[in-house]
A = this chain, B = another copy of it.
């Protein structure tokens, strides 16, 4: 960690040394118990102090009757209690000197009526004791590097480079396995809930400084401080991309968001404008949100919009080309030199024009390494898109046909793939151009995995890959415009 992040007011909340936990018990059907279990599951290294009225031990941790009994003043309080006791609990925390709290409990502003009053009271207590509160009505924090996860779901992805700020706790807690499918993961994710005194912008600023975060994802149902948002975004986006999904753009979305967090969203074009001014890339779906993060966090700056497509099947090449056409990427016409260099690898039934079509592949290394090298060496090629389709069963069958036993073929296939993986990593290091893949096969297959491990995002459709490439191009184009 560099020094600047430690000075950020949210640092103790996202990187607590010790936590006091209110609302967990030994009954695992309660929300509080699940949250505590998720954090201990992840392997939080500091002490956790459960506070419980009756139990001496909660989930094998020594429990305390009252916060004032604790041996130290914890950096963070996590409160998952019935609504009516939240204020008094926060007051007790404040008296004891605690300065950061995650309030998971709901029943405040979002339910209207009395809830609004209760939230005001909570704000007064926070103000009195100078406590920064994430929530209420949120799922708090998951900092995968610091091994804290105050959500009910166990983390089933590795720590990654995506910093998330979300007005929905679901998009923290329910996306771990989704991200893992794409070899992605969160660095730190914030569920901001009702944003009592920590809002989207505060969290964005934290993630802007966070060294584990290469790209920031925002899930927004409404923004209260528009001008400040643009200002913060303009400070961050020159060195770290921000991708935002805004869901209040339609009447139905607006109504659903209102009943969800009680905040009022505004016209879609207002948000569109704010994003543009801030250099923020807009995603229109959750899928796009994380696709765009995946490419922006892993790929270098492209020099332009010239794309080369490599395939061994005409149809997938054609739809990728069509997607490029529709989305404003330029399917480069190769120089005669590049065509000549390609001809060495391409049979006469194939095509050395873009999309390069190898047709029937005899040697996977041609498709996966040698031809990519030729294309990346062409100075006019800015971006390379590769279609991946090599079912393991076919590779193994070919080896068996060449005289190997089933076992030998299996291990030979794995060895060949590992070699391709090593070669691809070298290629990825050597070139300063984005390389992207797409496939209709399962991303869990060996071939896709070696490329994803080697730093190439692989998408399950050509359109998703091309849309993501456009987002990558747009980010750098925005930055150039904003610098003018």
Contact = CB atoms under 8 A, between A and B. Distances in A.
Contacts of A29: 362, 398, 401-402
Given A221-B318, A463-B285, A353 B259 contact: yes
Taken together, the copies of this chain in the complex come to: 2
A300 interface: no
B28 A322 contact: no
| Residue among A170, A219, A285 having the largest count of chain B Cβ atoms under 10 Å | A170
A430 interface: no
A162 interface: no
B391 A181 contact: no
A178 B388 CA distance: 13
Interface stretch (A119-127, A245-253, A447-455): A245-253
Interface stretch (A69-77, A235-243, A323-331, A364-372): A323-331
Contacts of A255: 321, 331
Interface stretch (A206-214, A309-317, A338-346, A475-483): A309-317
Interface in A220-235: 221
Interface string A22-40: 0000011101011001000
B257 A318 contact: yes
A175 interface: yes
A171 B387 CA distance: 13
A187 interface: no
Contacts of A106: 349, 359
A352 to B, nearest CB: 10
A359 B106 CA distance: 11
Contact of A170 (B170, B174, B250, B313): B313
A152 B171 CA distance: 41
A107 interface: yes
A254 B326 CA distance: 11
Contact of A259 (B33, B319, B325, B351): B351
A412 interface: no
Given A29-B402, A256-B355, A322-B252, A168 B285 contact: no
A154 B393 contact: yes
A483 to B, nearest CB: 30
A111 interface: yes
A441 interface: yes
A67 to B, nearest CB: 25
Nearest to A400: B28
Interface of A: 27-29, 31, 33-34, 37, 106-107, 111, 152-154, 166-171, 174-175, 177-178, 181, 219, 221, 245, 247-257, 259-261, 284-287, 309, 313-326, 331, 348-349, 351, 353, 355, 357, 359-360, 362, 389, 391, 393-394, 397-398, 400-402, 440-442, 460-463
- For the complex of A and B, the 3 pairs showing the least CB-CB separation, nearest first, are A168-B315, A253-B322, A250-B325
